[in-house]
Amino acid sequence: MFRSIVSCLLITFFIGCNNQNKTFISGKIIKPTNNEILILKDEKIIKKITINNQGTFSSSFEDLNNGLYNFIHLPEFQYLIINKGDSLVLRLNSLDFDESLVFSGLGASKNNYLIDVFLEHEKEENYIKSKYKSSKIEFKKIIDSLKNIKTKHYSNYKSVIKTNFISDLIINHAMLIPLYSHIENFIILNKENHTKNIEYFKKYRDKIDLNISELSHFKPYLDYITLKSINESFSLDKGYDYNLNFNLQRLNYIDDQVYDQTIKTKLLRFIAYEYLLEEKLLINIDQFIYEFLKISENNSTNNEVSVLYDNITSLQVGKVLPKIKLYNEKYNVRNIGSQINYNKKNIFVFWSYDQNAHQVNLFNKVNLLSAKYSNYHFNLININDDNLKWKNNYLNNFSSNRINNFRTVNFESMSKKMVLNNLNKVLITDKKGVIIEILTLVDLQKYLIAN
């Protein structure tokens, strides 16, 4: 089931193994997608390592703290457990990232074990989800069985391989947190028996400490607490109604139960974005922001959420479309207002050449609708940064003079001003650039038929 344990293989890394202050990371990437890898700690880049023409790389670190790190080779990433003095050698094929990733060298065993834990969960995912409509007794048996298998196997592993506190903490939670998350999902999807299920799974739900600072940047752990906040905010009369009061309850639950400031800030931010990007009523948004700012103590997050609030209030029906800088087809920078055809109403849609299915659907729809509704001018905004790929994609699909093609100059700025939480967003303006409708690509044709 799990990969074999390999000690330091390369002579250079025997030197590293004997130097307790230095940590080494090297490896080979087959078919790399770019020329560097990134090593992150707590979501901050601590080292950029160049990959040479042979796909190999190496680097050393002084006085690296034990803990959870990220290894990124865009667009993929994986977690690493690094102890000071480790000499990790990794090998992977970018076309099969997780499945091909294998470690050797000092510190390899715990990382190979962690990768296998993730892969096992992926294999189990669909099976466990298929049992969400089972009885609570049957579902508990499934969770118990998987938990017993995992803990027994890890116990056998630890009888052979010595682990330290941080490695043990990470691997244990990597094994068990997804199972507990499935329990929370089971409760959510069987809301008619919410109270009984909460009681029935109580010993599991009380098992996880919500304030483990060492896991404050471990996504499965944060996802679990987020799911738990949903169940703890459930009300019998309204159920899982994602309205203002429900989300205020979630804020209060996090405020009451989570005192680790990093974890608390991340969870509050997530809930704020999840709610604000869906809520339509400004009066509700105002109240949510008021309550959020009373609870959140992180100035950076508060500023970020306040900017989101400002952008949401600026992007409303009746407001003039915000100005953003775009490249036009001649690669000239224009403010969005400079290139709009104000002789007609305008429709703005967004796309990426990295999302092929969405691109094909969007292009087909725009070609069809632009021919049928000549009283509108269509504006396609590409969010990518490769000019040649952008041009090749639209040139092969569009020739109508009713269609403008743009590429964003600064995606981060544009996406914030347009509150672009997904590429299905559609904005419609009148001849003066005033927003008359905000909807989704799915609803666009219905709107045009009705108007």
Q: Contact at 8 Å (CB) between 389 and 351?
A: no
Q: Using alpha carbons, select from 310, 277, 317, 309 the residue that is nearest to residue 433.
A: 317
Distance in angstroms (rounded) separating the CA atoms of residues 218 and 43: 10
Q: pLDDT over 90 for what percent of the chain?
A: 70
Q: Is the pLDDT of residue 100 over 90?
A: no
Q: What is the mean pLDDT of the chain?
A: 89
Q: Answer yes or no: is pLDDT of 434 > 80.
A: yes
| pLDDT digit string, tens, across residues 24-73 | 999 999 988 889 999 999 999 999 999 999 999 999 998 888 999 999 99
- Give the whole-angstrom CA distance, residue 296 versus residue 262: 11
* C-alpha to C-alpha distance for 57 and 90, rounded to whole angstroms: 10
Q: Looking at the chain, how many residues does it have?
A: 451
CA distances, 216 to each of 46, 56, 259, 260 (Å)? 17, 31, 12, 8
Section 104-123 average pLDDT: 94
d(CA 50, CA 348): 39
Q: How does pLDDT run across 253-289, given as a tens digit for each residue? A: 999 999 999 999 999 999 999 999 988 889 999 999 9
SS3 label, residue 153: helix
Q: Helices in 296-440 by DSSP H: which ranges?
A: 299-314, 336-339, 356-372, 387-395, 411-417
| CB half-sphere exposure, 230, CA atoms < 13 A | 23
pLDDT-wise least confident of 40-44, 325-329, 342-346: 342-346
Cα–Cα dist 322/395, whole Å: 27
Residue 122: per-residue pLDDT:
94
Residue 341: phi, psi to the nearest 5?
Answer: -80, 95
Render pLDDT for 331-343 as a digit per residue (tens, 0 to 9). Answer: 888 887 655 666 8
Higher-pLDDT residue of 320, 336:
320
- Domains of the chain by start residue, with CATH: 11-106 (2.60.40), 121-314 (no CATH), 325-450 (3.40.30.10)
Cα 234 versus chain centre, distance: 25
Q: Quick one: pLDDT band at residue 238, thresholds 50, 70, 90?
A: low
**pLDDT bucket at 12, cuts 50 / 70 / 90:** very low
pLDDT over 50 (residue 15):
no
Number of Cβ within a 10 Å radius of residue 407: 22
At 32 the three-state DSSP class reads: coil
pLDDT band at 131 (very low <50, low <70, confident <90, very high): very high
pLDDT of residue 439: 94
Q: What is the DSSP string of 70-107?
A: EEEETTEEEEEEE-TT-EEEEEEEGGGHHHH-EEESTT
Report pLDDT digits (tens) over 178-232: 999 999 999 999 988 999 999 999 999 999 999 999 999 999 999 999 999 999 9
- For residue 330, pLDDT beyond 90: no
Average pLDDT over residues 99-121: 94
Q: Residue 398: count other Cβ atoms within 10 Å of its Cβ.
A: 19
Q: Return the pLDDT at 340.
A: 65
CA 296 distance to own-chain centroid: 22
What per-residue confidence (pLDDT) applies to 7? Answer: 36
* Single-letter residue type at 280: K
The reported pLDDT for the residue numbered 284 is 92
* Confidence at residue 59, expressed as pLDDT on a 0 to 100 scale: 92
User: Residue 8: is its pLDDT beyond 60?
Assistant: no
CA–CA separation, 228 vs 256, rounded Å? Answer: 13
Question: In this prediction, what percent of the chain has a pLDDT beyond 70?
Answer: 91
The tens digit of pLDDT for each residue in 366-405 reads 989 998 998 999 999 999 988 888 888 877 766 556 788 8
